[in-house]
């Protein structure tokens, strides 16, 4: 533990050293103070005994990340099982949509362009699982209207011209990763105490280095298998409840579209690794105790027994273009969680800025008048 007490307003002069040692608190250069007989940082005023520095360096992570996956998701289609399923191809964005032969897929759910080419489904694996749609098109349209509420800077024309009727129910392909993870993480933590006397305000900051090691079991880590669906958007409408997942049957596609995956499971492993590593760091952080701040400094995660499944998740999608810009909306077809980007009325934004500036100026003038009267 290191302790720093700061008198606010005091800033030490930086120094240069031929041999550089780093401060564990602020990463600045530190040196030996002959008067204190301690190591001292001139940037944050933290003092260290040599024993304390040795303790900081004693906790090191020697292991490296190691990720082992046995990825064989999906199944082979049975004979005649794909009869009646067609692949619609968008000539504009290259999107490939799977639908039954009775589905009138007139436009692409990703870019809105007409879909004109269709062929028999082939070249893809059969999904292991599907979460059926729980919310219908009416609920999706209502979700979009609720998303508009409270958006005072939203242009009125956008509401009437964004083709809300074209919102589509699409099953998005996901790879679901399971794994056992052994991890060790090193954190930097602080506890802060503040007080005052007649002359100064003080801040005392105590610095700690924490080490956690343990095991975590991960199940159904989702990584979408579509390059047309932005990863951040798909993660924003999570989570999905896998309790509703059932074995895939083509009947679930009736009346809906399905995005044909173009990012396979092997290509999704890097993103799964990133999510496992971050989730491990976050899980161990919850056991760090009561500190004012806790930040991860270093970690190592080893994955064993990594497997994957292929699933379809329900999403209501609307992609619309307005004044040359593309706007995308997505709603979780199971829970109703909604995300989407909206335009702003530039005239209203400018008016808002002018009003705020004028009000600020008036308030400042009033304050000056009051102060002058007091004199």
Q: How many residues does the chain have?
A: 375
CB 68 within 8 A of CB 306: yes
pLDDT band at residue 10, thresholds of 50, 70 and 90? very low
* Separation in Å, CA 52 to CA 45, 82, 204: 15, 68, 18
Out of 200-209, 229-238, 339-348, 355-364, which region has the weakest mean confidence (pLDDT)? Answer: 339-348
Grade residue 352 by pLDDT with cuts at 50, 70 and 90: low
Report the C-alpha gap between 317 and 171 in whole angstroms. Answer: 10
Please report the pLDDT score of residue 115 as a whole number: 67
**Per-residue tokens: 99:** 């639908």
Confidence of residue 94 (pLDDT cuts 50, 70, 90): confident
What pLDDT shows up at residue 55?
A: 63
Q: Residue 19 — pLDDT band, cuts 50, 70, 90?
A: very low
d(CA 316, CA 65): 37
- On the CB side of 61, how many CA atoms lie within 13 Å of its CA? 21
Arithmetic mean of pLDDT, 305-315: 92
- pLDDT, residue 64, reads 72
Checking 104-107 for CB contacts under 8 A at 24+ apart, the result is 105/257, 107/166
The answer to whether residue 359 scores a pLDDT higher than 80 is: no
pLDDT of 116 above 90: no
Band (pLDDT 50/70/90 cuts) for residue 316 is very high
pLDDT in tens, 131-141: 999 999 889 88
Across residues 83-103, what is the average pLDDT? 75
Mean pLDDT for the chain overall: 78
pLDDT tens, 62-82? 667 777 787 777 778 777 777
Top pLDDT among 310 and 45 is at 310
CA dihedral 154, 155, 156, 159 (to 10 degrees): -70
Going by C-alpha positions, the residue among 169, 170, 138, 144 that lies closest to residue 158 is 144
Note whether 185 and 299 are within 8 A (CB).
yes
Residue 374 has pLDDT above 60, yes or no: no
Confidence grade of residue 37 (pLDDT, cut at 50, 70, 90): confident
Of 235, 240, 4, 257, whose CA–CA distance to 115 is shortest?
A: 257
At 102, the pLDDT band (50, 70, 90 cuts) reads: low
- The per-residue pLDDT for 48 is 74
Share of the chain above pLDDT 70, in %: 72
- What is the DSSP track for 217-257? EEEEEEEE--SSS-HHHHHHT----GGG-EE--GGGGTTSE
pLDDT at position 8 is: 46
Cα 347 to Cα 159, 320, 343, distances in angstroms: 17, 22, 12
CA distance linking residue 240 with residue 322, whole number of Å: 31
Q: What is the mean pLDDT of residues 200-225?
A: 89
Q: In this predicted structure, what is the pLDDT of residue 18?
A: 41
More confident site: 52 or 191: 191
Q: What is the DSSP string of 261-280?
A: P-S-TGGGHHHHHHHHHHHH
Strand partners, 334: none
- Which pLDDT does position 229 carry in this prediction? 84
- Under the banding of pLDDT at 50, 70 and 90, the label for residue 7 is very low
Q: Over pLDDT 90: what percentage of the chain?
A: 25
User: How many helices and strands in the chain, by DSSP H and E?
Assistant: 6, 17
Q: What DSSP letter does each residue of 108-157 carry, written as one string? A: -TTT--BEEEEEE--SSPBPSEE----S-HHHHHHHHHHHHTT-TTS-HH
The pLDDT assigned to 13 comes to 43
| CA–CA distance, 331 with 316 (Å, rounded to integer) | 5
- Taking residues 46-65, what's their average pLDDT? 68
The predicted model scores a pTM of: 0.71
- Is the predicted pLDDT of residue 9 greater than 50, yes or no? no
Is residue 104 pLDDT above 60, yes or no? no
């Amino acid at each position: 533990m290191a302790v720093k007490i700061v008198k606010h307003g005091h800033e030490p002069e930086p120094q240069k050293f031929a041999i550089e040692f780093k401060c564990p608190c602020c990463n600045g250069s530190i040196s030996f103070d002959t008067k204190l007989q301690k190591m001292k940082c001139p940037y944050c005023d933290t003092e260290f005994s040599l024993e304390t520095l040795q303790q900081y360096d004693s906790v090191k992570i020697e292991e490296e990340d190691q990720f082992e996956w046995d990825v064989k998701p999906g199944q082979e289609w049975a004979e005649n099982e794909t009869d009646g399923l067609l692949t619609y191809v968008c000539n504009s964005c290259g999107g490939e949509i799977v639908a039954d032969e009775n589905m009138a897929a007139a436009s692409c759910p990703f870019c809105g362009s007409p879909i004109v080419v269709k062929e028999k489904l082939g070249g893809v694996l059969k999904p292991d699982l599907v979460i059926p749609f729980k919310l219908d098109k009416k609920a999706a349209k209502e979700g979009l209207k609720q998303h508009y509420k409270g958006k005072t800077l939203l242009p009125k024309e956008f509401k009437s011209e964004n083709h809300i009727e074209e919102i589509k129910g699409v099953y998005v392909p996901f790879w679901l990763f399971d794994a056992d993870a052994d991890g060790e993480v090193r954190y930097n933590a602080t506890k802060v105490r503040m007080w005052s006397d007649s002359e100064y305000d003080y801040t005392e900051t105590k610095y700690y280095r924490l080490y956690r090691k343990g095991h975590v079991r991960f199940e159904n880590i989702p990584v979408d298998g579509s390059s047309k669906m932005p990863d951040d958007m798909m993660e924003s409408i999570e989570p999905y409840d896998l309790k509703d997942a059932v074995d895939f049957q083509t009947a679930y596609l009736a009346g809906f579209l399905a995005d044909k995956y173009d990012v396979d499971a092997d290509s999704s492993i890097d993103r799964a690794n990133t999510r496992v590593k971050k989730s491990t760091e976050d899980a161990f952080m919850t056991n760090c105790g009561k500190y004012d701040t806790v930040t991860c400094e270093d970690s190592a995660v080893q994955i064993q027994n990594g497997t994957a499944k292929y699933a379809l998740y329900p999403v209501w999608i609307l992609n619309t273009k307005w004044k040359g810009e593309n706007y995308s909306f997505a709603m979780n077809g199971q829970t109703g969680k909604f995300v989407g980007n909206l335009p702003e009325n530039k005239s209203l934004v400018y008016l808002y800025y002018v009003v705020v500036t004028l009000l600020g100026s008036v308030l400042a003038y009033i304050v000056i008048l009051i102060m002058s009267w007091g004199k």
